[in-house]
């Protein structure tokens, strides 16, 4: 009897916890693997168009990571919602006037080479006094993946990068891996 009285609270707690949460056959859906778009993961802004002189550098940015999670929009639904954010790192250049600027990034859902949904994020970048490097997370972006009973979230892609000008894209292609 003493052993049973010691186990009883544990058994009661186990029984209570077994009734919590989603159905035992219901798991979180898989998320597509997020990818940084090659050539759009770096940003270098100069005060003079066409310049690549360090003295003209206003801000340099790097997309460091993309992460997120997926969930079904409703219980027993096939529609999946992805919540995605990106980690960025910035360096203040010698040509920056003041301590703040703004950059644009994008996060998109793709199927093959087709962009199904693209959201552009206007991101303020502020450097505190005596600090020339900052790491920032974008706000979380919610995107719906058009899944079906026969098409899993793995059929889609989630991509991210800086929203660059044509000149910035060309500079990144000329100087890969900067």
Segment (H or E) for 38: none
pLDDT, tens digit, 9 for 90 and up, residues 25-70: 455 677 888 889 888 999 999 998 878 889 999 999 999 999 988 8
Going by C-alpha positions, the residue among 87, 73, 88, 83 that lies closest to residue 140 is 83
pLDDT (mean) for 109-127? 94
Position 87 scores a pLDDT of: 96
- Label residue 176 by pLDDT band (50, 70, 90): low
So where are the chain's domains?
Answer: 32-169
Alpha helices in the chain (DSSP H): 2-18, 166-174
pTM: 0.77
Find where tokens 């940015």 sit.
61
Position 78 scores a pLDDT of: 76
How far is residue 160's CA from residue 36's CA, in Å, rounded to a whole number?
Answer: 5
3-state secondary structure of 150: coil
Beta bridge partners of 46: 57
3-state secondary structure of 104: strand
CATH of the structural domain 32-169, one choice from 3.90.1570, 1.10.10, 2.60.40, 3.40.50: 2.60.40
């Amino acid at each position: 009897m003493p052993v049973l009285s010691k186990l009883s609270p544990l058994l009661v707690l186990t029984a209570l916890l077994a009734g919590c949460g989603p159905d035992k056959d219901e798991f979180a859906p898989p998320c597509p693997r997020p990818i940084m778009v090659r050539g759009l993961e770096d940003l270098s802004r100069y005060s003079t168009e066409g310049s690549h002189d360090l003295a003209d550098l206003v801000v340099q940015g790097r997309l460091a990571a993309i992460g997120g999670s997926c969930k079904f929009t409703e219980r027993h639904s096939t529609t999946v919602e992805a919540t995605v954010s990106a980690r960025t790192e910035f360096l203040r250049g010698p040509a920056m006037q003041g301590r703040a600027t703004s950059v644009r990034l994008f996060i998109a859902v793709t199927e093959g080479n087709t962009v199904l949904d693209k959201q552009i994020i206007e991101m303020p970048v502020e450097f505190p006094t005596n600090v020339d490097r900052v790491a920032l997370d974008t706000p979380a972006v919610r995107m719906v993946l058009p899944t079906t009973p026969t098409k899993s979230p793995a059929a889609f892609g989630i991509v991210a990068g800086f929203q660059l000008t044509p000149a910035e894209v060309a500079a990144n292609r000329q100087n890969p891996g900067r």
